[in-house]
Chains A and B, each alone.
Chain A
């Protein structure tokens, strides 16, 4: 298919003569697919040709529209397949109250049209329909504050094309909801989970995941969330791991030989010396080249036990892989100096260490910290230490 248009050079071609009307319908629909649905439907008033073009656009993108509008548009929409169905409710939860079937109806609409990308950000605490978890076309699923993930055992989850899964503040029927869900996602590459209260065991087992983000912050509506949980990660293909606000009582990791970048922020817990705890964890990051550690949550509560204990064996990643380290939230405490000294002395291939002190530290103290750290012996001649004095 092509619409011919030939301009000979020098010919005057004001846009008002041909313009957009020379583009075929398929291209116009493609252009409309980049618009929010509201703007796309508005083009129906341009001319007769545009009257129902919007209804063949394969993307539906609603932001803060009333549920009656969404229902109307989905009824009038004619495309047989949907690439992207995105429903974002920025204002409050009044949208789908008192109708327990509404969310399910929209999900079923999208699933029936072989949706590839589904993004729902709608406050709701109804169970997500089981049919969603056997949607064979789904590539990208993102749920924000939306619905309860059912616990579907017995191989009942079949998401053979799902590559990206983002679950933010969703609820889970049970601890096994996550592991059962993951067991039906054979090609999943990226998992982002922001967790809320109630989950006791978080088991991430997947042979295919390459990027994993776990944020254990509660839903921001108060408190720091449940501290009594266990984390288990069995993801041998993992290349990037980010774990923040983690109060975990225990973190179990299988082999992570593919991991090359880690961004870790673990809170002190119970009676374990903080720095030692992090080093124990680094021990498991065997091949990591790029590491970011946030030390800000080493609070004063455990001052008396924050003693430094040098491990018997230097972690492998430290001695032969680590090229870049960023330490943030450094407070200038004695055990932190010892920790930094240990890292610099043993990181034989380190190229750069970046240090950002706590915001509360004055300029003078920062300068003292910089002087002190710059005197530490370095295992790697090429290593430079960058210090953020301004922050």
Chain B
């Protein structure tokens, strides 16, 4: 790979809405999907990523560059991830978790999933439905029955706020 020649290799990634992005190979191969393409010699031209839109891909590339610039120090990587995700709204997080899954980037996948989990952990059922756009298709009787079945889980739930 590139390191031996002294000049870093750059890859070109294409989003599903036809935006092109240049990224250093050393950062891009954080994605196992991309790494496999590079190793199979399929990365010569443009790498099409059919399941990621340009806005999300730009964000993922920011993450790739940021995290790969940090040396092997798990604490620092974690604080970078926390900061990176701190200002993302749910819509962006949902896009990123899909992208991370498609690109096979377990560190990003875990960080985003943990962030979404953290948001919903202590919230009421109604709050999570509203925030995450979940349609309630239970009848009132069905919902009451489910809640009764797992009533031990409803202790310690926060009172709703709208944040």
Contacts and interface: CB of A to CB of B under 8 A. Distances in A.
B132 A47 contact: no
B45 to A, nearest CB: 23
A221 interface: no
Contacts of B131: 15
A6 B113 contact: no
Nearest to A32: B117
Interface string A1-41: 01111111100011111111111001100111111101101
Given A6-B17, A13-B91, A42-B154, A19 B132 contact: yes
B72 to A, nearest CB: 14
B133 A34 contact: no
Contacts of B113: 27, 30-31, 33-34
Interface in B35-65: 51, 53-55
B133 A7 contact: no
Contacts of A14: 133
B78 interface: no
A5 B114 CA distance: 22
Interface string B106-127: 0001100110111011100100
B97 interface: yes
A36 B95 CA distance: 24
Interface stretch (B2-10, B24-32, B79-87, B144-152): B144-152
Contacts of A36: 121
Given A17-B133, A20-B133, A45 B114 contact: no
B125 A45 contact: yes
A5 B56 CA distance: 12
A45 B137 CA distance: 10
Contacts of A251: none
Contacts of A26: 101
B116 A5 contact: no
A35 B51 contact: no
Contacts of A46: 125, 128-129, 134, 136
Q: How large is the interface on B (under 10, 10 to 19, 20 to 34, 35 or more residues)?
A: 35 or more
A305 interface: no
Contacts of B122: 39
A45 B150 contact: yes
B157 interface: yes
B68 interface: no
Contacts of A30: 109, 113
A6 B50 CA distance: 10
A45 B129 CA distance: 10
B142 to A, nearest CB: 8
A39 B120 contact: yes
B153 interface: yes
B138 to A, nearest CB: 6
B117 A31 contact: yes
Interface of A: 2-9, 13-23, 26-27, 30-36, 38-39, 41-48, 50-51, 65-66, 69
Interface of B: 16-17, 51, 53-55, 89-91, 94-95, 97-98, 101-102, 109-110, 113-114, 116-118, 120-122, 125, 128-138, 143, 146-147, 149-150, 152-154, 156-157
28 contacts: A2-B101, A2-B102, A5-B95, A5-B98, A6-B17, A7-B53, A8-B17, A13-B91, A15-B89, A19-B134, A20-B90, A20-B116, A20-B134, A22-B94, A23-B98, A30-B109, A41-B150, A42-B154, A44-B150, A45-B143, A45-B146, A45-B147, A46-B125, A46-B134, A47-B136, A48-B137, A48-B138, A65-B152
Given A7-B53, A9-B55, A45-B147, 8 more contacts: A15-B89, A20-B134, A22-B94, A32-B117, A36-B121, A38-B152, A46-B125, A48-B137
